Structure formats: structure tokens, C-alpha cells
Chain A
Amino acid sequence: MAETSDNTNKRDYSMFEADLSGQVLNMHLLGRLLTWLKPYKYQLIISSILVLIASTFQVLLPIIISLVAIDHIFRNESDADTPDFGLIELNTWLTDLSGLHPLIIACAMYAVARLVWAVTGHAHRMTLIGAVINGLRDMRMDLFRHLETRPSSFYDRVAVGRVMTRVTNDVEALYEMLRGIGGLVGEFVPFFVALTVMLAVDVQLTLILLMVLPLLAVVTLYFRRITRHLFRQVRQTLSALNQNMQENLAGLQVVQLSDRQDYNLKRYTDINESNRDFELRSARVETLYGAFNDSLAHIAIGVIIYYGAVEIMEMRMTMGEVVLFTQFIGMLFHPVVVLGEQTNILFRAMASGERIFQAIDWDEKIHEPKNPATLPERLRGEVKFQHVDFAYDKTIPVLKDVSFTIAPGEKLAIVGPTGSGKSTLIRLLGRFYDFVDGQIFLDGVDLNHIHSHDLRRRVGVVLQDFHIFSGSIYDNIALGNPQITRERAVEAAKTVNAHDFITSLADGYDSELTERGQNLSQGQRQLLAFARVLAADPEILVLDEATANIDTETELLIQDALRRLTEGRTSILIAHRLQTIQEADRVLVLHHGQVEELGTHEELLAAEGLYHTLHQLQFQDDDAPNP
């Protein structure tokens, strides 16, 4: 147990902030990605078979035009050595069979091939997309499940936004890549089929045309490299631009009071200009490259015709074969272009994959007992801290040798200056952090022997900033617990004075709340949190009192509700209001992580110690006569 709780200090959280650029092709990473596709492997196999069929039929179309129509039907000069996939024979056979004109048969063949290509191509894409989308959906699920169960210590250190983009943008980048790889298959199969046919027709011309490919590849890769760099700068300046504007608007009042409009506009202009310059530069590169590919393909057509004319004259090629070459040229060049398009996506996906695995591999967790203790049906509610030491970061101790006992049903108020360790104390009680030094007992059972889920059902925690789940008010009180019926929820709401405001809402208990609860006031949210915890009826209540300013009327409701909530229940209250403190059975004064004083309000005042000082402090300026 000792080693697991140590690990928070060794971890390097900064990796969540690092800007990964993914410069290398990481095969291990790709392999790991495939594990999510494994459940869909049959779908992927079917997809691969379909793409083979589709590609073959794709290649048949130009063959029907050039070899069947032009050579066979128009000029009747077919070269028997040219692979025509038996189409000429089929045409002749069907013509004889039907007695129709061979042109009509060619049309029919063309239509069928076209249809088969369309259908199998569509089916190939859909099976592929389906497998990839499902695989990545599962990955997001795993990622979310993993993140949802990381302990508080993780979220203390890592910004939520950083983690969030891993679930959204990064998984999307992987989709782009996997779909891209699938698309490449669809490009390269026809490439090889066409290449085979071309080689069979004329090796020399094919080789001449192939010589263009390396040039195309080099230009494409070079272009991608330049734009990758430029795009990054465009993105950076754009986000700087937006950030500048956002901040300027947020602080506009200060800007106007300081008469900084002109100066700020100038700064904005500078960023705007540098953004435009990068945009223009990438536009220049992109337009230069943009028309390059099709121009090269068109030039190749010129080469084919020039070379073909000689070959036809020498009777080494037929007219149809020359036309076939011009029609195949697209299939020959296109894969290289697509490959170039994929490199940027690939690099981006590598970085994304790394980020995703980084999060999935993050194994920080709360240590759960191997053989958890079984708690009785109902706890008495005795809480005992025994020599508890704790530090988030080894160098700064937060709790030092904390020992105290709360009797069942007792109300204990914890007070102390900010940073004295109050919140930490209740966090340990909810087992949000592992601790090793010292022990906490719940009815005599060591906390570390209780499973955290079991424990958290017994200890009801109301945090200062409580989370409202999207759903109805009732959902928010019951929180999916089937034992909390509507009656019980209403009962709880009534007890904590929340019933009145709830029924005043248009839909009462069925009113939909937005997440973060913007449509409720601070005071209403507090009451709702009370209702939630009361409905769950925990044996022990832990409350971090909200410090927000609440109007007096609601304040009275809250105090009254708190009284009922804590009645007969062991309660630990981090108190900010004098009234809360005065109503507690005892007060624990925490200072620099140590128990400074413990006793009733009156006892502590009489002792004239730290509590006395704390209590007196705000009155010390007050020399006005007492009425």
C-alpha cells in the first residue's frame, strides 16, 4: 500500500500540457489502435473483398470503351495479347446469342459494370466506415470510463479542457487517419490492376509514364512539408488573434477607463497582419501545387498520344490501347496525390494517438482494499481520526498528527484560516485521497479497509460547488437510486425547505435543470444539494459550507434546513457562518494542519486561545460604544 500512495509525487503531469507534434511514424501505436478494430475484423475483411471487386469493375469501364468499342467494333483490329478480361469474347457471344448490335451489347456491359462498381464500392465504404466508427466509439467509451474513475488527485493537477479534447478532437483525428488508410486501399487496387494491363500492352510507354511518379511524389511530399509548417503558424496566429479579442472584450471596461483602445487596436493589427501574411504564404504554396497534378496528367496524355502515334504506325499498339492509356492515367497518378494528402493526417493522428494512450495508460487510482470489510446495515456514526498525517506534495505537509473523535450523532464544526487543511480533512474522510500515515476509523473499522464506493454511500458530502446533473429536479435528488421514490424525494425537499421554490417552477419536480444549474440561484442550489443528501440518508454528513453571499431570507431557510439535516446525524461542518458554529456541539480549530483547539464554543472563547482571536478579529477595529 505504501508504494501506491507514493506515486502521486512521482508523476509528471506536465505531459498533459505538452504540445505533441507527432513527427515519427509509430508502428507500435498503430498496432495498439488496431485492438479497438478487432471486434469488427469480419466487417473489415468483407470490406477488403468488396474493394477488390469494385476496383476490378472500375478498370473494366475504360476497357469497354477502348478495347471493345474502339478496337473491336469500330476498327476491328483487336490485339489478341492485350488482357481484356474476356470482354471482347463476351461481347461477341452475347451478340450472337441475342442478335442485337454489338454496340448495344457494349452499352449493356458498360451499364452492368458501372452498376456493380457503384454498388460494391458503396458497400465497401459503408462496411469500412461502420467498423472504424464503431471501433472509435468503443475507444471513446473506454477513454471516458477511464477518465471518469480517475481520482481527485489527478484532476487537481490536470486541466479538464486538456483531457476533454482527447475524447473529442483526438479521436476524430484517428478517424480521419483510419478512413484515409481505407481510402488508400481503394486507390491502390485499381492502380495495380491498371498497371498490369498497361505493362501487358506496352512496357516501354508504361515505364516512361511511371518515371513521372517519383517527381510527383517528391513535389507532393515537399509541398506537404511546407504547408504543415505554414498551417501550424496560421493556426497559432489565429488563436492568438481570438485570444486577444476575447480578453480585450472581457476587460473592455478597464480598456476604456485606461483609454487604451488605440494601443490595443495596434496590437491586434500586428497579430492580424502576421496571420494574414501566413495565410497568404500558404495560399501561394497551395495554389502553386493545386494545379500541378492535373497539369502533369494532361502532359502525360500528350506523351501517350505522341508515343502512341508512332506505335500505331509500327503496328505495335492499337488505337483503343492508346485511348486506354489516356484513360488509365488518372488511376496511375491519383494514388500518389492521395498518399500525399494522407501524410499530414497521418502525422496529426500519430500525435493524437499518443495523447489518447497517454490518458488511457494513466493508472493513478485510489487504492481499494483486497478484502473489503462489510459494514453493518446501519452505522452508529462514530468517526475517529488517529495521528493522521497527509501531504499532497511531499514538501508541504497539509495535515499533521490530527487526532480527534466524534461521537455518534455529534455535530462538529471545523474552523480555521484558509489553507489550514479543513477541506483536506473531509476529502480524506471520503477517501478521495490515499493516506498512509495514521488511521481513520468509522465505527471502529479502518477506513482503508472499506471500499470507497461503500464508504461514499455512508458519508454524504456536500461540497461548496456542487454539481447539478442535467435532468429534472427529481432526477437530481434521486440520482438514479431506485430506492428514492418520488414521495421520498418530495419529503426530503420539504424537510430542507426546498419544496416551495421547486413547486414555484413551471414544471415542479419535473423541471429540467441545465448542467451547472445556471437556472437556479445560489441559495436554491444549496437547498437542492441538501435535499439530495437527505434523500440518500447517509449515516454521516460532511458539509463544506458555501461562502457565497445569499440574501437574508434564503439564508434563514438554509440555516433552518441545516438544523434538520444534521439532527441526530453525525455531522462535520466546515463552517463559515457564526450561527453554524454556535449551533455545533463542538468546535475544532485547525491551524497549519494541526488541531489547535477542540471544545464547545463557550469553552473555546473562555480559553482565550486562537478561536478567541479568530472570533475577536473582526471586532477589533470596532471602538463604537455598545448599545
Chain B
Amino acid sequence: MLASLWRLRHFIYPYRARWFAGIIAFGFARGFEVMVPILMAVSINRIAEGNFDVTLPVLGIVGAVSLRYLVVTYARYSVRKTGLNVAFDLRQRLYNDLQDQGAEFFSKYTIGDMMTRAVADISLIQRLISMGTILLVILVYATVAGYAAMLYYSPLLTACMLIPMPMVYWYALYSSRRMGIASREVQDRLSDMGAHVQENLSGIRTIQAMVQEENEIKRFSHTNQAYADAFYEQGRINSAMTAWMPSLADICVLFILGYGGYMVLQGQMPIGNFVAFITLVNMVVQPFRVAGFIVNLFQRAAVASDRLHEVMDLEPEISDAPSGSTPAQIQGDIVIRHLSYRYPGSDQTVIDDVSFEVAKGETVAIMGRVGMGKTTLLKQLVRLLDPAPGSIYVDGHDVRDYPLAQVRAQMALVPQDPFLFGEPLKDNLTYDDPNRALDAIWDAATSADLKNTIEEFPEQLNTLVGERGVTLSGGQKQRATLARGLIRHAPVLILDDCFSAVDTETEEHILSELKRLRQQQTTLLVSHRVSTARHADRIYVLEDGRILENGTHDELLAAKGYYAELERVQREGAEDEDFARARVGV
């Protein structure tokens, strides 16, 4: 556990001065606090002796209290500030690291998992630094200062305290740990209930169609009861602790009352000391209420630290190490030479010794069934996946020798999954460069056949998309994604099956427009539709990671292979997905 926490030292290091100052200040604060019962004792003793002038000790109390206030405020703020700063830095670091991760990483970790680390784990570490350490420090100081003062008054009576104290400490530790377990149980049951309601209401139509309302209400009553039970249990432990912990501590008071009182009567102890003793016992016992909580916090923060370091220790998946000898402008000659690929940790070869060339200005289509390696191939071109050295050449240079940013800027990939950010359309289209001119945006939108759609929105380009704004249809999203790629006028355009939700007619229209605009430029496209592929200069069919056949549309038809069969099937409409989507009369 300590090793895990020790790894956090680098994050605390920049703030160490303030942090230690805070911790030391807590010591002074505790010292001033102990002054209060001591000066109280002095005053009472004076009065008992018939000296009624208590001005000095009372001024002492006021002074000690004021100083304690200042010091403790400073200490608490300093330590909390350290925790907040560390959390800030951890967030920055994690965000930055995650941005460099790639497909391999996200096949291992989900986004939800990353969010838990970013939210819950960082918050645990923040709480450890700004709360856990305070509590621990207070506990240590209170024990030291409290016992020191008690020893000063009466070693023997202090020794008496040692009889019930271990019991008090044990009970405090025991209860507060059980309290921690119970609280987590409550949280779990609460999130169970949330999930139950969420899932249930999401399927409300089926539930009602199947007349399952009563069954579901009955089922919910179990989840609901489980939560209520967990809540009750937590309340019970808390209440029992509130009742018994001070009761056990009051065994000490019984000793003071009995034995201390005996000493008072024997004249061996002044009444003031007797009163101070009772106050000091409370001072020693109180902090232990949270002992179990502290242990719990340290344990959980240690796990959180490990989980964060697990992610932060990883190297970026794709290394950006430009050779420096590559041209600043990519022309668009692509050579693929014996390219093979298998995903890390998998023994299946997705791309198996594929070689082909795309000359500048050519349009090449890649076809094949789902899972045949088309997307994998395209991703390697722009190094979303890293190809083996010497397998992909762009204008005669290994693609790995180019700066990463240049490859991705000059070879524009439009991905299969049309992802839009919850921002205005304009910001989505100019995602790579927010300073693009309005004309360029409209041009790209026109090429992607999105202009009319945008003009239908009252706020046009400023329309917010996503959950908080307008929900676009699948086809609209794909066209927006396409516009985001087209706006870059990249020498190489790579379209990864980005027309699947666009109807055939529109796709046709977009492609012919592109053909006109990109005459001298290279285009690679993946599609399932023969109607798309037939416009390409050359068509490659991938099967099990290998090139099954290639040629022009007519050549492939004549070959009567896979492509010809696909053409026949699609013509006869067995794969009839467009049927329902076809727009009539618009």
C-alpha cells in the first residue's frame, strides 16, 4: 500500500513547502488548543485558593484561542490547497496521456473505465492529501499533546486511562470501518436502483406492450427494499457508534471521577486539574471517531494511485519520430509493399501480405465483406494503427518517417463511424482548424450535399448537434463527417465506408461531384456497394486479409468472381437495406 502511495510523491513535490508548512502548523494549533484546559485549570485552582484575580489566565485563553484560529485556518487551507493542486495536475496529465493513446489501448480499456479513473480515483487521492493527512496528523498531535498534558497533571491517573483506552480505540476502528463498508453498500444499492429504473423506463414500451407493469413494479420493490435495508444498516452502525463510542470513553471519566475525586479529597490534586483532565480525555478520544475512515481512505487511495499509474505509465501507442528528410507536401503516390498486420495480443492475421500501388490522381476502391481488413488497412495509411516499417510508402518515403500531424493533415481519412461533437455544426466541420473561412465551410458542405440540410435549420451553421441540440439522422451525420474531411482539400482522401446511411442517389451525386473536384488527386474508398465502386479506376477485393481479385469494374465483371457475384446479388436486391430509406417525392 505504501509503495503505491509513495508513487504520488512526484505530484506532491511541487507543493511540498506549503504542504509541510500546513502539517507543522497543525502541531502548533494543537498546542494552543491544549492551552485552554490548562489555563482553565490554572484559573479554577486560583479561585479555589481564594485568589479571584483570573485576568491573566483568561487573557491567555483568549490569546491561545485566537492564535489557534489563525494557525488552524492556515493549516487547513494549505493542506487542502495541496490536494486540489495535485488533483489539477493529475487531471492534466491523464488527459494529455490519453490523447496519445490509440486503438490498442481502447480495446483494453473502455471510456467508462477511464472516466472512473479520472473522476473517482483522482478525487480519492485529492481527499487523501487534503483530508486523510489532516485527520492523521490531528490524531497523532491530539494523542501526543493530550497525553503529555495529562501526564503533567498526574502520571498515575493517566495510567488509569490506559485501561479503557485500547477498548475505545479498538471500537472506534472497528465501527468506522464497518461504517465505510456500509456506506459503500448504500452507494452500490443506490446505483443498482438507478440502473434498474433507467433500464426499466428505457424499455417501457415493451413492458407496456407485454402488460408487464405489475411484474416490473414487484421486481422494483425488491431493489427498492434492498436499498432501504442497506440504508437502515448504515444508520444503525452510525447510531450505535454515536451511542457507544463516547460511552466507552466515559469509562475514563469514571476513573477521573472516582480516583481523581479521591485525590482531590486527599488534597493531592487541585480541582482545576480534575476539570482539565475531563476535558483532555475528550480531546484524546474525539479524533479516533474517524480512525477507521482514515485507514479506509489510505487503502482506497493506494488502489486509486495504482490505477492511475497503470494508465500514465503507458507509452504513446504511435510514436512520432519524423526522420526530417521527408517532403513538406505530400503529392499522393502510395505504395503498399508486403503489408501484414495482426492486432496486438491476437493471433489472427487481419492483413496478410498485401501489396498494391495507387498513383497520384487515381481513385481506388476496396471492397470485401465485413471483417476482411478494409478498415485496418486504411487506418494504417494514416497511422491510427502502426504499419511495420518498410510496408507503406508515401511519395517514396516510409509513412513512419513523416511527422504524424502531417500524415493526418494531408491524407484525410473520413472514418466509418460518423462521430460529431456536441458543438455547433460549424465547429464540427472546422474541427482541425477553427479559423477556417465561412466560404470554405459552405463549399465543403455543398460538396458533401449537406448545404440544404444546414439551410433547413433555423440556426444554420450555428446549430448545436448532439444530445443537447439537434439530433441528426445517420445519413446527415455521415455527410457532416464527410464535409469535415473534404474541407481540408487534402492531396489524399480516404473514405472508409462513409456512405452506408446515405441513400444511393445522394451518394452517387456526391461521388460524381468529388470526381470533378479531385481530378488530379488521390482517392481511396471502401464500400459495400458495387454502385459506388464501379466509378473507381481500380477495384481491390479483400478476403481474409488478402487481395482476392482486382481490376476495373468491367474486368472484374468479366472475371465472374466475387465482385461479379456481389454485383448480381445487389442488383436483385437480396440485400435490400436501401429500400425503406429510399426517399420518394422529395
Contact = CB atoms under 8 A, between A and B. Distances in A.
A152 B69 contact: no
Interface string B34-62: 00100010011011100011110111011
B204 A283 contact: no
B152 interface: no
A313 B579 CA distance: 103
A160 B198 contact: yes
A511 B207 CA distance: 21
A74 B52 contact: no
A292 interface: yes
Interface of B is mostly: helix
A461 B203 CA distance: 13
Interface string A74-116: 1100000000000000000000000000011011001100110
Contacts of B253: 65, 110
Contacts of A276: 84-85, 87-88
B3 interface: no
A395 interface: no
Interface string B218-262: 001100110110011001100110111011001001100110011
A245 B207 contact: no
A264 B434 CA distance: 12
Contact of A417 (B201, B221, B412, B584): B584
A283 B40 contact: no
Interface residues of A, number: 142
A74 B271 contact: yes
A578 to B, nearest CB: 4
B390 interface: no
B197 A309 contact: no
A118 B245 CA distance: 10
Interface in B205-226: 205-213, 215-217, 220-221, 224-225
B577 interface: yes
Contacts of B57: 305
Contacts of A591: 584-585
Given A145-B217, A241-B91, A284-B77, A121 B584 contact: no
Given A129-B232, A305-B58, A122 B580 contact: no
Contacts of A147: 197, 201
Interface stretch (B7-15, B154-162, B360-368, B567-575): B567-575
Interface stretch (B391-399, B414-422, B444-452): B414-422
Contact of A164 (B62, B85, B198): B198
Contact of B573 (A257, A515, A578): A578
B231 A133 contact: yes
A106 B573 contact: no
A247 to B, nearest CB: 6
B308 interface: no
Interface stretch (B95-103, B137-145, B176-184, B341-349): B95-103
Nearest to A64: B257
B202 interface: yes
B559 interface: no
B135 interface: no
B68 interface: yes
B236 A269 contact: no
Interface in B59-115: 59, 61-62, 65-66, 68-69, 72-73, 76-77, 80-81, 84-85, 87-88, 91-92, 95-96, 98-102, 106, 111, 114-115
Contacts of A149: 213
Contacts of A480: 212, 215
B265 interface: yes
A491 B112 CA distance: 41
Interface stretch (A26-34, A438-446, A560-568, A612-620): A612-620
B99 A264 contact: yes
Interface in A139-158: 140-141, 144-145, 147-152, 155
Contact of B115 (A245, A576, A610): A245
Query: Taking each of A319, A415, A467, which has the highest tally of chain B beta carbons within 10 Å of its own beta carbon?
Result: A467
B118 A245 contact: yes
B508 interface: yes
Nearest to A285: B77
A247 B261 contact: no
A576 B224 contact: no
Interface of A: 61, 64-65, 69-70, 73-75, 103-104, 106-107, 110-111, 114-115, 118-119, 121-122, 125-126, 129-130, 133-134, 136-137, 140-141, 144-145, 147-152, 155, 160-161, 163-165, 167-168, 172, 175, 241-242, 245-261, 263-265, 268-269, 272-273, 275-276, 279-280, 283-284, 287-288, 290-292, 295, 298-299, 301-303, 305-306, 308-310, 312-313, 319, 322-323, 326, 415, 417-418, 430, 432, 453, 456-457, 461, 463, 466-470, 479-480, 515-516, 532, 536, 547, 549, 576-579, 591, 610, 613-615, 617-619, 621-622, 624, 626-627
30 contacts: A65-B278, A70-B271, A74-B261, A110-B254, A110-B257, A114-B247, A133-B232, A133-B235, A137-B224, A144-B224, A148-B200, A148-B220, A161-B198, A175-B231, A245-B98, A248-B95, A254-B419, A259-B432, A268-B91, A268-B95, A283-B80, A283-B81, A287-B80, A290-B72, A291-B76, A302-B59, A319-B47, A417-B584, A463-B209, A480-B215
Given A148-B220, A249-B114, A276-B85, 11 more contacts: A70-B275, A148-B216, A164-B198, A167-B193, A276-B88, A299-B62, A302-B61, A547-B580, A578-B574, A617-B578, A621-B505
Interface of B: 36, 40, 43-44, 46-48, 52-55, 57-59, 61-62, 65-66, 68-69, 72-73, 76-77, 80-81, 84-85, 87-88, 91-92, 95-96, 98-102, 106, 111, 114-115, 118-119, 190, 193-194, 197-213, 215-217, 220-221, 224-225, 227-228, 231-232, 235-236, 239-240, 242-244, 246-247, 250, 253-254, 257-258, 261-262, 264-265, 271, 274-275, 278, 382, 384, 404-405, 408-409, 412-413, 415, 419-422, 431-432, 434, 484, 504-505, 508, 531, 557, 567-568, 571, 573-574, 576-585
